[in-house]
């Protein structure tokens, strides 16, 4: 443990950790302000598009029956997936006592929360009568109408709702001691602010005693949760009878894909962030190397899943499945199909090389491929399967419009906006967990490991 | 904060072994209700203090069970309350409801865990104890509540253990 | 969202102004309030024939084509809301085609004129009062000492007689002109039989039907009557069905319903017919004795000779002739507009000979009943000449649109312009009316008194079913008023109104039948007219002209590489359908294209020319050019390029104006001819850079071996095989069952247990199970049911742009799949499947809805609760038949511009934006029938519930009923061995049973 810790943080004392992290909360740089401005601008594009949708109807988007779900649901699944890497790193790797998670987990956990916040908007945006979205909730009403719990969409409501709540709790609980640390370093109104946010945390032995246990159980609960959420999302498709959706492989396939896409987003966020906030000595090659290995693993699982989908389609002898997958590869949407396979299955294989895993430029480029590839994976699964299902006479191809892209852009703006604000307001590196890894100095040498 | 501070002695330690020595010595002298501040959980302090395991897990368990039960109860009752036939499936079809029950298990389990954390921490509030900003940074702090006449002995003990500084309350 | 509510925009006053025959109540109410209220208002003065909530049905007669089908006009609260067939009528017997039903949109057409108008000095239109308008007309026709010309539409009747007398009294000249008048047919009958008549055909009795380019299921003579007969003959029953062979360059809807299609070279029908007659005469006796006189005439027309001309093999012709002769009686028909070339008369004559030789004349071909409809193109042509010569002072155009229907090449527009004073009675400003000086909009046929002599013994009556929608006036009244204003000789037109005139005429009919006039009138009015048995057909013998039959070929002008084939579509007919959204959005049954005109090319021709679908091509003939997107169709002969008629209006209302290209522009004007040759020119095809996505509702025209549209050959059907067995009997394979016996048992057991578990709450006890059976052996794909569904269920038309996005809302669509025709020599076959919600027992759409908007009713309907729907569209994704339709925009606001909204059926919700909708099995009719039965305190009887589609279908292909009722027709039909469910292997348990199509296959 300790040796591992030293490997990560050569020559860092508790004091230096606090100092460096608190330093990230200083006045914003020009680059930061520009990025925030860009994010807000994108977000406004989304707002305008949504108002237009409310006024004119979903017809503004490029829906082309039988393709009744398209860019919005694609983007919904994309964002839900992004969230998963965060919980994996913060919760699952915590249970595995994986030492390298400490430096990055706060950022990824924040990413999770904001990704789910983004995803949560889409079920509302995409429905025909957005103003009655709350009918999906089992709230008491004088007509005794209840939702249909047999519908996978209801499972979604509960899965996403739970996921958002639990990961938010997890994030906040992790933050409290660090906010207290910040509180004790700053002055003036900021001290008041952080004092309020620290909920009277003093780090007394009692607090730590309950805190460590609670944190352990939260992690233990978040672990099956994260696995369930994307399984449920995958069942939105797998529970239907549409060829190309109706697959038993979907749950694990989607979970792997989710984590894969999530780590991709972690790269995309952390690589610039650590420069921006000067955290190079806290978030090091060591972390990226490990993240890279995780990407390689999940990417390879995807590779297998893709291969299996085609194999099963062929082996099943089911003409509907066979047609769907033939057209996925060689039909009108062949370009999307191959984008997904190249970006996910093939590009991820580059990470076999340590040189690439530790080369941040390479990783950043790969991460962009991953983001694109994973968005297209969902696009292909949803759109190409719907375009040509059972009734050939009804087949048609999708043509997205500005309304589709407007909402997509808006979602990125909305996410980036929150993430940037968070990074400037709260410690994006977990102070107390890093300190936990760095042994305190002692008077007597030798005693204790 | 306006509440008067509890009389006692507060010491700050820069070295972990110094702190643990002090704790052991105090416990040997029969001081039970020590308050030890640290910037991060530390297993050496835990050993020195020898607390029992936190009961927070009971909250987790009860929350989880409640969630599971309410999940099944809600889905089945609502289905029967408004019996609508869809897709030739039974009115109350349990398999799909497992998902709802599972999610609620997690949800209530997590929320009650946090509730447990808050409640248990409030049992021993630190608002009226002496505190020092160093403790959230790189020092370990130990506070011993004691009457002014005993204070001198405690201070001595701290100095021997190797504290970097000591405070009195009331100052 | 209150602004999405359907009632929005229905102005109360507007509603009241059309409020039925209860004029008094209307008058009393309409003054008392000026605000718009959003609810219907009961009558103050209740009229006995108007009960709010209960439809009142008036009998009338359809005027959408010359066939004269009988109508039942369903009215609610004084508004006509639906046109249905009159069950008592001898021609359509309760059914109606798409065009006939769309007549309602003629009544409520947004393009209708609000009142009489005249061109001012500056050429702009000025509204007039009727007094003023009639005074102007009287002044011109009265003062203008003769030189009056009247162009009227077809149709015998009291009005036609009045118009004729009126014109004669004014020393004018009357030309009755109908674009598709079948002059060649009449000429040929004159020549061969010495009868100047159109025959009537008994399709029902024919055992073998050969059509030489006569599209008798779409546009030829009386389509509904012929379709009924065809379904009776060609529909499979007890191992028997007639054979239908289509000979012609293009596979029309009629051709698609044939067992064999022979793609003969354009204009060579005559030689095929003569060769068949030759073979028959040569090979069998039993032909009428006088036919033998023809041996000499027919001698040169050997099958070999014919084969050289028409591109068919001599053997095929011989085989065809033998089949034709051996099936008694058989029937050969020709004279369709699409094959009306310069030699059309000899083609018709040749087919007459064929029928005569085969002994069909007097059997399936009868004379004496059909009345001459119009004077033919020759008469109009003559009039155009006199107009061009400036010899016409006043022209009055009534129910005709010659400026659109006559090719530009004839120069009618200039000739017409030469006439000093031009009057039209069009109720919508069509091309002709737009060129007139005075427009006196006529009442719509549903607003006025009128009658029509359809054929000997059959007279259809028309009566006002509601207050006029617009400020129009019956032209009969206009004629009478004008006459009275002129006075003098005209004073003898003394009847105060045309209604009085009509009743007088009918009193005369009563007198002839020595019946009491009032009773006779009342009965006729209720019945819809006078339906008497036709007189016995005269014995028909060959006339001298029969010797002159021969074949000279089509005689085409132009030197392009491609022969141009202009054909009428079953939706737009001669172009009069072009301002009816129902007809524009109801896909053309052959190409499945909506809202656009197109150019048909055979894929091979297209490959040679390097043309792709949707590429805008320019056709150039000596007479003009035409630009339209290309549509590749294997059903048109290589070297032939076909385009639909009826598009390319320059006026005629918002829906028609500027839509598509007018195929007539390519044609020669037929100056000096007795008829207009539509197949008369060769064209050159030029590629343009342009591209226009074709607005077709079809995705993939092949069913890829998915058992959606099943068919079996007649021998297999006779063995009583089901479609699956028939499939393996033909392909030689064996059924492949992936589950073992025990697995199948387990599956069945589980299904049963699950079904048992659903019998809870509302679902306990006995209920009907509504079901439908659709016989594909009878369905011709005519799409009449589609329009019926639009009309009954307030389905919005979404327009070209939305159809391009695949967002048409047709709850019921006719899927058209092709089989074969891929390798050269392989016959092309078309199958039709009416596809609507299958109301599955294990509906995949239901469980995925998060709010129970899609659910199953206890009586087996797959219901959709619009108010509960939030629009997740999951149900549509999960529907294997893709029969759920989503309101992407507020179609309920855009689809029914005033006064079209008056057509809406008050029994059916108009769906708001953002909800899913679908076929309900006309649940409003089901509940209506159940309530009626309860009122009469009797159980619901089989046949009490008829869905709109089943009611309209001229083929009687759709049967609806309770599958739990052992006595129901539906249940019996569903038990037929040809029965199958579409996509049966999905185990969604559809409640719709299709009966596989049965085919005469050439070999085997």
3-state helix, strand, coil in chain B (%, to 5): 55, 10, 35
Beta strand C529-531 pairing with C458-462: antiparallel
Residues C805 and A396: their CA atoms lie apart, in Å, by 9
- What's the gap in Å between the CA of B156 and the closest CA on chain A? 18
φ, ψ for residue C884 (rounded to 5)?
-110, 140
Does the beta-carbon distance from A203 to B17 stay under 8 Å? Answer: no
pLDDT one-digit tens code per residue, C210-246: 999 999 999 998 999 999 999 999 999 999 999 999 9
Contact A440 B131 (CB under 8 A): no
Distance from CA of A23 to the nearest CA of B (A): 14
Place of tokens 């490990």: A290
The SS3 of residue C567 is strand
> Residue A233's closest chain B neighbor by CA?
B99
| Chains with at least 3 CB pairs less than 8 angstroms from chain B | A, C
Q: Say if the Cβ atoms of C847 and A148 lie within 8 Å.
A: yes
CB-based contacts of C318-324 (< 8 A; 24+ apart in sequence): C318/C279, C320/C210, C320/C245, C320/C262, C320/C276, C321/C275, C321/C276, C321/C277, C321/C278, C321/C279, C321/C280, C321/C283, C322/C279, C322/C283, C323/C208, C323/C243, C323/C245, C324/C208, C324/C210, C324/C276, C324/C280, C324/C354, C324/C358
* Three-state SS at C884: strand
Burial (CB < 10 A; 0-12, 13-18, 19+), residue A405, is middle
Close Cβ partners of C240 (under 8 Å, ≥ 6 residues apart)? none
**Cβ of residue C755 closer than 8 Å to a chain B Cβ:** yes
For residues A338 and A335, what is the distance between their CA atoms, to the nearest angstrom?
5
d(CA C532, CA C455): 10
DSSP C392-433: -SEEEEES--HHHHS-GGG-HHHHHHHSSEEEE--SB--HHH
Q: Give residue C734's pLDDT.
A: 83
- Edge-first strand listing for the sheet containing C260-262: C260-262, C243-247, C208-212, C330-334
Q: Provide the angle, in degrees to the nearest 10, between the axes of the packed helices C344-357 and C183-193.
A: 50
For all residues of chain C together, what is the average pLDDT? 90
Looking at residue C24, its pLDDT comes to: 33
- pLDDT of C14 above 80: no
pLDDT for C16 equals: 44
- The dihedral through the CA atoms of C567, C569, C573, C577 has a sign that is negative
Rounded to the nearest angstrom, the minimum Cα separation between B148 and chain A is 23
Instruction: Kindly give the pairing relationship between strand C813-820 and strand C828-835.
Output: antiparallel
CA distance to partner chain B, nearest, from residue A402 (Å):
36
Paired with C243 in beta bridges are C208
- Is pLDDT of C852 > 70? yes
List chain A pLDDT tens, one digit each, 449 residues.
333 444 454 468 888 888 888 888 888 889 899 999 999 999 999 999 999 999 999 999 999 999 999 999 999 999 999 999 888 888 888 888 888 888 888 999 999 999 999 999 999 999 999 999 999 999 998 888 999 999 999 999 999 999 999 999 999 999 999 999 999 888 889 999 999 998 889 888 889 999 999 999 999 999 999 999 999 999 999 999 999 999 899 999 999 999 999 999 999 998 988 888 888 888 888 889 999 999 999 999 999 999 999 999 999 888 999 999 999 999 999 999 999 999 999 999 999 999 999 999 999 999 999 999 999 999 999 999 999 999 999 999 999 999 999 999 999 999 999 999 999 999 998 888 888 888 888 887 654 44
Provide the Cα torsion C475, C480, C481, C486; round to 10°: 130
pLDDT, position C394? 93
> For residues C422 and C434, what is the distance between their CA atoms, to the nearest angstrom?
10
* pLDDT surpassing 80 at residue C46: no
Strands C979-980 and C992-995: antiparallel
pLDDT for C10: 44
Rama region for C728: left / alpha / beta (φ>0; ψ in -120 to 50; rest)? alpha
Half-sphere exposure of C28 (CA within 13 A, CB side): 10
Per residue in C881-939, pLDDT (tens digit) is 999 999 999 999 999 998 999 999 999 999 999 999 999 999 999 999 999 999 999 99
Inter-chain CB proximity A225 and B111 less than 8 Å = no
Instruction: Please list, residue by residue across C965-978, b when 16 or more beta carbons sit within 10 angstroms of its beta carbon and e when fewer do.
Output: beebebbebbebbb
Query: Element (H or E) spanning B60, and its range?
Result: helix B56-81
Q: Which residue of C has its CA nearest to B88?
A: C842
Distance CA A422, CA A436 (A): 23
Strand pairing report for C711-713 and C997-999: parallel
**DSSP H or E run through C736:** none
How far apart CA A207 and CA C24 sit, in angstroms, is 88
How many helices (H) does chain B have, and how many strands (E)?
Answer: 5, 4
What beta strand segments (E) does C37-121 contain?
Answer: 56-61, 70-76, 79-85, 117-119
Residue A115 has a pLDDT of 96
Over residues C266-292, the mean pLDDT reads 87
Beta strand pairing call for C394-398 and C421-424:
parallel
- CB of C987 within 8 Å of a chain B CB? The answer is no
The Cα of A412 is separated from the nearest Cα of chain B by a number of Å equal to 28
Q: Encode pLDDT of C747-758 as tens digits.
A: 889 888 887 888
Mean pLDDT of C801-822: 94
CB < 8 Å to A205, chain B? 34-38, 45-46, 49, 51
Containing C43, the helix (H) or strand (E) segment is none
Coil, helix or strand at residue C152: strand
| Average pLDDT score over residue span C683-687 | 95
- Orientation of helix C498-512 relative to helix C475-486, angle to 10°: 100
| CB contact (8 A) between residue A388 and residue C889 | no
Chain A interface mutation, best of B137, B145, B159, highest count of A Cβ atoms under 10 Å: B137
Q: Which residue of C has its CA nearest to A242?
A: C878
Confidence grade of residue C304 (pLDDT, cut at 50, 70, 90): very high
Q: In this complex, which of C754, C852, C858 lies closest to B89 when CB atoms are compared?
A: C754
pLDDT given at position C371: 67
A242 and C876 within 8 Å at the Cβ level: the answer is no
Which range (B14-23, C176-185, C732-741, C883-892) has the least confidence?
Answer: C732-741
Instruction: Give the tens place of pLDDT for each residue, C72-128.
Output: 999 998 899 999 999 999 999 999 999 999 999 999 999 999 999 999 888 899 999
Beta bridge partners of C1: none
Whether C372 and C399 have beta carbons less than 8 Å apart is answered as: no
Non-local (6+) Cβ contacts of C106 within 8 A are: C64, C427, C428, C444, C445, C579, C580
Cβ of residue B97 closer than 8 Å to a chain A Cβ: yes
Strands C148-152 and C173-176: parallel
Q: By C-alpha distance, which of A259, A261, A254, A249 is closest to A309? A: A249
Contact indicator for B96, A158 with CB cutoff of 8 Å: no
What pLDDT band is residue C47 in, cutting at 50, 70 and 90?
low
Sorting pLDDT into bands at 50, 70 and 90, what band is C9? very low
Give pLDDT, residue B1. 43
User: Comparing C-alpha atoms, which of C798, C830, C800, C793 is closest to residue C815?
Assistant: C830
3-class SS at C689?
Answer: strand
Mean pLDDT, all residues of chain B: 88
Answer whether residue C22 shows pLDDT above 70. no
- Tokens encoding A300: 């390879």
DSSP secondary structure letters along A142-187: TT-----TTSHHHHHHHHHHHHHHHHHHHHHHHHHHHHHHHHTT--
Kindly list the residues from chain A whose CB atom is less than 8 angstroms away from the CB atom of residue B74: 138
Residue among C699, C913, C988 minimizing CB distance to A57:
C913
Residue C382's CB is within 10 A of a number of other CB atoms, namely: 14
Provide the pLDDT for residue C765: 84
Chain A residues lying within 8 Å of C870, measured CB to CB: 127-129, 132-133, 135-136
| Strand C450-455 relative to strand C599-601, pairing | unpaired
Alpha-carbon torsion (C913, A132, B89, C965), positive or negative? negative
Q: Answer whether B54 sits within 8 Å of A148, measured CB to CB.
A: no
Touching C: A residues 390-449, CB under 8 Å: 390-396, 399
Question: Across-strand partners of C640?
Answer: C563
Alpha helices in C194-248 (DSSP H): 223-234
DSSP SS3 for A29: coil
Q: Which residues of A touch B57 (CB under 8 A)?
A: 213, 217
**Interchain CB distance below 8 Å, A214 and B107:** no
Using only C-alpha atoms, chain C has a radius of gyration, in whole angstroms, of 29
| C758/B89 Cβ within 8 A | yes
Residue B109 β-bridge partners: none
User: Can you list the positions of beta strands (E) in A318-410?
Assistant: none
């Amino acid at each position: 443990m300790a040796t591992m810790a030293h490997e990560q943080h050569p020559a860092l004392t508790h004091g230096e950790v606090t100092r460096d992290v608190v330093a990230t909360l200083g006045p914003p740089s020009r680059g930061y302000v520009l990025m925030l401005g860009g994010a807000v601008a994108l977000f406004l594009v989304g707002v305008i598009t949504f108002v237009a949708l409310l006024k004119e109807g979903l017809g503004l988007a490029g829906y082309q029956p039988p393709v009744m779900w398209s860019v919005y649901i694609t983007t919904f699944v994309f964002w839900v997936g992004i969230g998963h890497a965060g919980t994996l790193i913060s919760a699952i790797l915590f249970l595995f006592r994986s030492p390298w998670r400490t430096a990055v987990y706060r950022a990824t956990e924040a990413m999770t929360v904001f990704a789910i916040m983004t995803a949560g908007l889409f079920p509302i945006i995409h429905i025909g009568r957005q103003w009655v979205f709350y009918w999906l909730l089992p709230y008491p009403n004088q007509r005794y109408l209840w939702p249909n719990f047999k519908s996978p969409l209801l499972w979604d409501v509960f899965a996403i709702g739970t996921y958002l709540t639990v990961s938010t709790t997890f994030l906040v609980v992790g933050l409290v001691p660090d906010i207290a640390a910040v509180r004790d370093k700053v002055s003036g109104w900021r001290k008041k602010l952080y004092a309020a946010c620290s909920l009277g945390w003093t780090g007394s032995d009692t607090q730590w005693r309950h805190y460590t246990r609670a944190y352990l159980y939260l992690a233990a609960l978040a672990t099956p949760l994260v696995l369930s959420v994307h399984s449920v999302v995958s069942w939105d498709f797998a529970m239907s009878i549409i060829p190309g959706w109706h697959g038993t492989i979907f749950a694990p396939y989607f979970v792997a894909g989710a984590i894969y896409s999530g780590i991709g987003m972690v790269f995309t966020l952390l690589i610039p962030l650590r420069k921006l906030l000067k955290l190079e000595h806290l978030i090091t090659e060591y972390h990226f190397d490990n993240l890279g290995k995780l990407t390689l693993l999940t990417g390879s699982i995807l590779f297998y899943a893709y291969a299996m989908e085609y194999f099963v389609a062929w082996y099943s002898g089911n003409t509907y499945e066979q047609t769907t997958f033939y057209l996925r590869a060689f039909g009108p949407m062949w370009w999307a199909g191959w984008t997904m396979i190249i970006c996910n299955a093939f590009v991820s294989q580059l990470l076999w090389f340590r040189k690439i895993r530790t080369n941040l430029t390479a990783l950043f480029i790969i991460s962009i491929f991953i983001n694109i590839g994973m968005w297209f994976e969902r696009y292909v699964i949803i759109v190409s399967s719907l375009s040509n299902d059972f009734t050939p006479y009804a087949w048609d191809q999708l043509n997205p419009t500005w309304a589709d892209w407007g909402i997509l852009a808006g979602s990125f703006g909305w996410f980036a906006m929150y993430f940037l604000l968070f990074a400037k307001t709260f410690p994006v590196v977990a102070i107390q967990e890093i300190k936990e890894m760095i042994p305190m100095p002692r008077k007597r040498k030798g005693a204790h490991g | 904060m306006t509440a008067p501070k509890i009389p006692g002695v507060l010491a700050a330690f820069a070295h972990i072994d110094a702190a643990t020595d002090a704790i052991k010595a105090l416990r040997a002298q029969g001081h039970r209700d020590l308050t030890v501040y640290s910037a991060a959980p530390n297993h050496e302090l835990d050993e020195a203090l020898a607390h029992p395991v936190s009961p927070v897990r009971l909250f987790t368990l009860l929350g989880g069970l409640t969630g599971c039960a309410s999940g099944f109860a809600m889905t089945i009752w609502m289905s029967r309350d408004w019996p609508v036939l869809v897709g030739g499936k039974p009115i109350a079809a349990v398999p799909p409801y497992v998902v709802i029950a599972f999610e609620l298990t997690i949800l209530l389990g997590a929320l009650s865990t946090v509730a447990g954390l808050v409640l248990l921490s409030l049992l021993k509030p630190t608002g009226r104890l002496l505190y020092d900003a160093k403790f959230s940074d790189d020092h370990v702090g130990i506070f011993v509540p004691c009457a002014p006449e005993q204070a001198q002995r405690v201070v001595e003990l701290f100095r021997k253990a190797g504290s970097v500084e000591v405070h009195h309350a009331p100052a | 969202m209150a602004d999405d509510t359907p009632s929005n925009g229905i102005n109360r006053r507007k509603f009241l102004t059309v409020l039925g025959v209860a004029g008094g109540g209307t008058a009393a109410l309409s003054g008392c309030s000026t605000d718009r209220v959003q609810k219907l208002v009961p009558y103050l003065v209740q009229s006995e024939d108007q009960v709010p909530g209960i439809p009142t049905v008036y009998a009338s007669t359809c005027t959408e084509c010359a066939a004269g089908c009988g109508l039942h006009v369903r009215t609610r609260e004084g508004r006509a809301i639906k046109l249905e067939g009159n069950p008592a009528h001898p021609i359509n017997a309760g059914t109606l085609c798409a065009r006939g039903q769309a007549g309602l949109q003629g009544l409520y057409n947004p393009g209708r004129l609000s009142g009489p108008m005249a061109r001012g000095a500056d050429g702009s239109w000025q509204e007039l009062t009727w007094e003023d308008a009639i005074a102007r007309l009287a002044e011109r026709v009265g003062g203008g000492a003769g030189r009056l010309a009247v162009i009227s539409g077809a149709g015998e009747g009291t009005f036609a007689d009045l118009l004729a007398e009126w014109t004669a009294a004014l020393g004018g000249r009357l030309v009755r002109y109908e674009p598709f008048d079948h002059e060649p047919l009449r000429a040929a009958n004159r020549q061969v039989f010495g009868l100047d008549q159109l025959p009537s055909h008994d399709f029902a009795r024919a055992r073998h039907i050969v059509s030489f380019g006569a599209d008798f299921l779409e546009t030829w003579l009386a389509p509904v009557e012929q379709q009924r007969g065809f379904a009776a003959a060609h529909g499979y029953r007890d191992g028997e069905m007639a054979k239908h062979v289509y000979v012609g360059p293009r596979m029309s809807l009629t051709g698609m319903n044939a067992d064999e299609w022979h793609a003969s070279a354009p204009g060579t029908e005559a030689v095929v017919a003569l060769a068949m007659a030759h073979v028959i005469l040569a090979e069998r006796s039993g032909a009428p004795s006088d036919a033998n006189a023809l041996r000499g005439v027919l001698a040169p027309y050997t099958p070999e000779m014919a084969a050289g001309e028409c591109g068919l093999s001599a053997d095929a012709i011989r085989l065809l002739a033998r089949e034709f002769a051996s099936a008694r009686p058989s029937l050969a028909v020709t004279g369709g507009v699409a094959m009306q070339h310069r030699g059309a008369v000899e083609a018709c004559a040749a087919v007459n000979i064929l029928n005569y030789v085969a002994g069909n004349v007097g059997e399936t071909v009868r004379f004496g009943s059909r009345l001459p409809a119009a004077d033919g193109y020759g008469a109009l042509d003559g009039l155009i000449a006199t107009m061009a010569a400036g010899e016409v002072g006043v022209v009055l155009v009534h129910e005709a649109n010659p400026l659109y229907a006559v090719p530009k090449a004839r120069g009618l527009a200039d000739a017409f312009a030469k006439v000093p004073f031009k009057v039209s009675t069009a109720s919508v400003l069509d091309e002709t009316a737009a060129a007139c000086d005075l427009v006196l909009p006529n009442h719509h046929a549903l607003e006025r008194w009128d009658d029509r002599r359809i054929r000997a013994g059959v007279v259809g009556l028309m009566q006002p079913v509601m207050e006029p929608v617009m400020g129009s006036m019956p032209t009969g009244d206009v004629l009478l008023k004008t006459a009275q204003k002129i006075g003098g000789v005209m004073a003898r037109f003394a009847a105060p109104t045309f209604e009085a005139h009509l009743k007088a005429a009918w009193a005369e009919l009563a007198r002839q039948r020595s019946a009491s006039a009032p009773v006779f009138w009342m009965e006729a009015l209720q019945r819809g007219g006078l339906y008497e048995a036709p007189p016995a057909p005269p014995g028909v013998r060959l006339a001298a002209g029969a010797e002159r039959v021969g074949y000279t070929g089509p005689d085409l002008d132009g030197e392009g590489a491609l022969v141009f084939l202009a054909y009428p579509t079953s939706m737009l007919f001669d172009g009069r359908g072009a301002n009816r959204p129902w007809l524009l959005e109801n896909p053309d049954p052959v190409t499945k294209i909506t809202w656009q005109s197109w150019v048909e090319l055979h894929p091979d021709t297209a490959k040679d020319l390097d043309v792709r679908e949707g590429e805008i091509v320019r056709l150039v003939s000596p007479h003009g050019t035409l630009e339209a997107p290309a549509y590749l169709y294997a059903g048109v002969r290589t070297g032939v390029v076909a385009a639909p008629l009826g598009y390319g209006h320059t006026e005629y209302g918002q829906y028609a104006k500027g839509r598509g290209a007018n195929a007539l522009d390519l044609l020669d004007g037929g100056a000096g001819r007795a008829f207009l040759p539509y197949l008369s020119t060769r064209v050159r095809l030029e590629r343009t850079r342009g591209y226009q996505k074709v607005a077709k509702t079809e995705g993939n025209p092949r069913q890829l071996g998915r058992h959606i549209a099943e068919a079996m050959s007649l021998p297999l059907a006779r063995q009583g095989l089901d479609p699956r067995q028939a499939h393996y009997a033909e392909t030689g394979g064996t059924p492949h069952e992936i589950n073992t016996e025990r697995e199948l048992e387990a599956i069945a057991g589980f299904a049963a247990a699950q079904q048992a578990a659903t019998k809870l709450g509302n679902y306990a006890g006995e209920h009907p199970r509504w079901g439908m059976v659709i016989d594909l052996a009878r369905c011709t794909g005519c799409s009449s049911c589609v329009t019926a569904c639009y009309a009954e269920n307030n389905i919005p038309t979404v327009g070209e742009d939305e159809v391009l996005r695949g967002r048409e809302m047709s709850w019921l669509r006719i899927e058209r799949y092709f089989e074969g025709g891929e390798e050269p020599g392989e016959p092309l076959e078309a199958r039709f499947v009416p596809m609507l919600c299958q109301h599955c027992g294990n509906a995949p759409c239901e469980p995925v809805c998060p709010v129970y908007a899609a659910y199953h009713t206890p009586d087996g309907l797959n219901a959709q609760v619009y108010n509960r729907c939030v629009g997740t569209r999951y149900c549509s994704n999960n529907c294997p038949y893709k029969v759920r339709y989503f309101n992407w925009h507020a179609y309920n606001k855009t689809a029914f511009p005033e006064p079209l909204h008056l057509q809406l059926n008050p029994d059916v919700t108009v769906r708001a934006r953002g909800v899913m909708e679908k076929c309900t099995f006309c649940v409003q009719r089901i509940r209506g029938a159940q309530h009626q039965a309860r009122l009469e305190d009797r159980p619901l009887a089989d046949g009490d519930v008829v869905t709109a589609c089943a009611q309209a279908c001229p083929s009687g292909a759709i049967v609806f009923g309770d599958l739990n009722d052992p006595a129901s027709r539906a249940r019996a039909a569903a038990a037929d061995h040809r029965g199958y469910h579409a996509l049966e292997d999905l185990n969604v348990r559809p409640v719709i049973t299709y009966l596989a199509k049965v085919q005469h296959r050439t070999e085997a």
